[in-house]
Amino acid sequence: DVKVTQSSRYLVKRTGEKVFLECVQDMDHENMFWYRQDPGLGLRLIYFSYDVKMKEKGDIPEGYSVSREKKERFSLILESASTNQTSMYLCASSLPPGYEQYFGPGTRLTVT
Amino acid sequence: GIQVEQSPPDLILQEGANSTLRCNFSDSVNNLQWFHQNPWGQLINLFYIPSGTKQNGRLSATTVATERYSLLYISSSQTTDSGVYFCITGGFKTIFGAGTRLFVKA
């Protein structure tokens, strides 16, 4: 079974803090994704990565950066957290694009 | 870009009832997935179904790629089926439907 894990289920941070969200997959997938989910806005793609050290912006990259130093790990970084980044963050991985995606359990981030 | 529309947006069922959820896409696609998002937010893979029909227990799905739609059938619904059902397509830039929110009453 493919397993995608995320470092925290719930996280509370203060405005201005630097926040790291970690995602690890155990199936040697090439592609990894970060999404955020907000009521009324659905799921939106923040960044994706198709190989180690490779990344591409998604639909809403502003205020975020990512890091992929190892194939199995994809990190989302909020350089200076703001209240409008309070959201559910979901990580996913897949084989080549268009193949089946597998999601982690999600991190509910609250920025106060 | 491709648009994905799901219907109905909301559905309330009595336990034991059957239902059909629909996903329409505006252009031809070569991949399609159905997910169930449970009340805790976890997205659970149901089917990867770019075409044809698949079945898994009480759930089945059919994609007719030439007519640009996919259907998810839930039979003998249970309260644990409650949640939001999404269809998605796309390559790197995943395209999500808005979801169907299902509530199954005991």
The pLDDT of residue A97: 63
Closest CA to A44 of A32, A52, A34: A34
Q: Which residue among B33, B41, B91 sits closest to A100, beta carbon to beta carbon?
A: B33
pLDDT per position as a tens digit, B52-105: 999 999 999 999 989 999 999 999 999 999 999 999 988 778 889 999 999 999
Band of the pLDDT at A41, cuts 50, 70, 90? Answer: confident
Look at residue A15 and tell me whether its pLDDT is greater than 80: yes
Amino acid A48: pLDDT: 93
Which residue range forms the structural domain that includes residue A94? 4-111
Query: Chain A contacts of B93, Cβ < 8 Å?
Result: 45, 58-59
The answer to whether the CB atoms of A97 and B99 lie below 8 A apart is no
3-state secondary structure A73-108: EEEEEECCCCHHHCEEEEEEEECCCCCCEEECCCEE
Q: What is the CATH number of the domain that holds A85?
A: 2.60.40.10
Out of 2.60.40.10, 3.10.20.30, 3.30.300.10, 3.30.460.80, the CATH code matching B4-105 is 2.60.40.10
- Which 3 state secondary structure label does DSSP give B67? helix
Average the pLDDT over A44-72 and give the result. Answer: 95
Examine the pLDDT at A96 and tell me if it is beyond 80: no
* Pairwise CA distance, residues B106 & B81, whole Å: 11
- Name residues whose C-beta falls within 8 Å of residue A34's C-beta, 6 or more positions apart in sequence: A21, A23, A45, A46, A47, A48, A58, A64, A66, A74, A76, A89, A90, A91
Domain spans, chain B: 4-105
Any chain B CB within 8 A of the CB of A59?
yes
Contact status of A40 with chain B (Cβ, < 8 Å) = no
Subunit contact A97:B91, Cβ cutoff 8 A: yes
**Total count of domains within chain A:** 1
